[in-house]
Amino acid sequence: MVDELQAGSSSPDDEAYEWVERFARGEGRRADVAALKRWMARSAAHAEAFDRVSRIWTSLEPVGRKLAAKGLVSPRSHQRIEAHAPGHLGIGRRTFIGGALAASAAGAAVLVARPPLDLWPSWSELTADFRTKPGEQRQLTLADQVSIDLNTRTSLAAGSADAGKARLIAGEALISCPPQMQVLFTLLAGDGRVVATGARFNVRIDEQTVCVTCVAGGVRVEQGMSAVSLPSGQQVLYSDRGMSRPVTVDPATVAAWHDGIVVFESTPITDVIAEVNRYRSGKIILTNKELGRRLFDAKLRIENIGNVVRQIELTFGAHATELPGGIVLLG
């Protein structure tokens, strides 16, 4: 761990780079956050170094778009662009840190709470009782034999003293409640909750929007003064703007991730990339708005979802450029 490096063995900027890489790869755990806080507390120089290096990630999207527009970024030939490779844009450790040194410093704690480009989990996610990293899925069994399957990048708090409750902090979960339950099960998500018994339902959080789909049985969705009962095959959304009207969906498609499958049906590439980003470390950044509006159809195994970029290249004549840290510019 970086926290265990001998003092003076490397510069704060070098060590900050290692921290950012670790979290960008999805390898950061709760213990790593504690270690990061100790490392940042060594001196103001350490905290400022982490702030500077982190801010470079924030600038990658606009910079990448400008470079692609000017033809300064070479198309990927299924090879990673290495630092200082002749004829290519190399963004290795030294170039990365050089840019970090030019960035302004301001509150590294904010960057831990709101990671740039969502390259690593937020502080609330890292402090959850259960969390899955990119591409990982996990099954839990709570009291009363309630089964919860966690999808990629999902955080769940289940340590409440109140029986029959859990909170979905981020990501997506499929909950199965047996009919013989003695009490109703309540899943808190965002500023609302789902109450169920003898039902199976899927809950997903995207930004500030919560999507609830009843897969089998029936559930009750509550938010503030609003409430709706959902039968099987019905879906509802809610956010700070309120709750939508229920709509009919195919529950098998919604819950396909549980079987290791992702389905795209006439899906705009913008949404395809957003979905693919959930399952991989780093981030794919679209640099072509017109490409983002094109529609894409595919049914893929999750373990092969990284091949989507290559399929888009071949189908639409797009070009992808790989940068360090799992960053891909697609346009």
- Mean pLDDT of all residues belonging to the chain: 77
∠ Cα 218 219 225 (to 5°) = 140
- State which amino acid sits at residue 231: P
CA distance 330 to 320: 4
Number of domains in the chain: 3
In a domain, 207, yes or no: yes
In a domain, 132, yes or no: no
Pair (108, 8) in one structural domain: yes
Pair (9, 94) in one structural domain: yes
Pair (235, 156) in one structural domain: yes
Answer whether residue 123 shows pLDDT above 80: no
Pair (105, 185) in one structural domain: no
Pair (265, 249) in one structural domain: no
CATH assignment at residue 280: 3.55.50.30
Answer whether residue 118 shows pLDDT above 80: no
Per-residue pLDDT at 47: 75
* Domain boundary pick from 234, 254, 274: 254
Could you list the residue range(s) of the whole structural domain that residue 249 is in? 138-254
In a domain, 131, yes or no: no
Confidence at 9, pLDDT banded by 50, 70, 90 = low
CA distance 213 to 194: 10
In a domain, 264, yes or no: yes
* Domain boundary pick from 59, 93, 126: 126
Query: Is pLDDT larger for residue 26 or for residue 152?
Result: 152
Distances (CA, A) of 158 to 168, 196, 212, 299, 321: 9, 16, 19, 33, 41
Predicted confidence (pLDDT) per residue in 76-110, tens digit: 433 333 333 323 333 444 444 444 444 433 334 44
Pair (73, 173) in one structural domain: no
Mean pLDDT for the stretch of residues 109-125: 49
Distances (CA, A) of 262 to 79, 257, 258, 294: 26, 6, 9, 18
Query: Is pLDDT larger for residue 199 or for residue 128?
Result: 199
CATH assignment at residue 242: 2.60.120.1440
Neighbouring C-alpha atoms within 13 Å toward the C-beta of 182: 5
Mean pLDDT for the stretch of residues 240-247: 96
Per-residue pLDDT at 28: 61
CA distance 286 to 52: 24
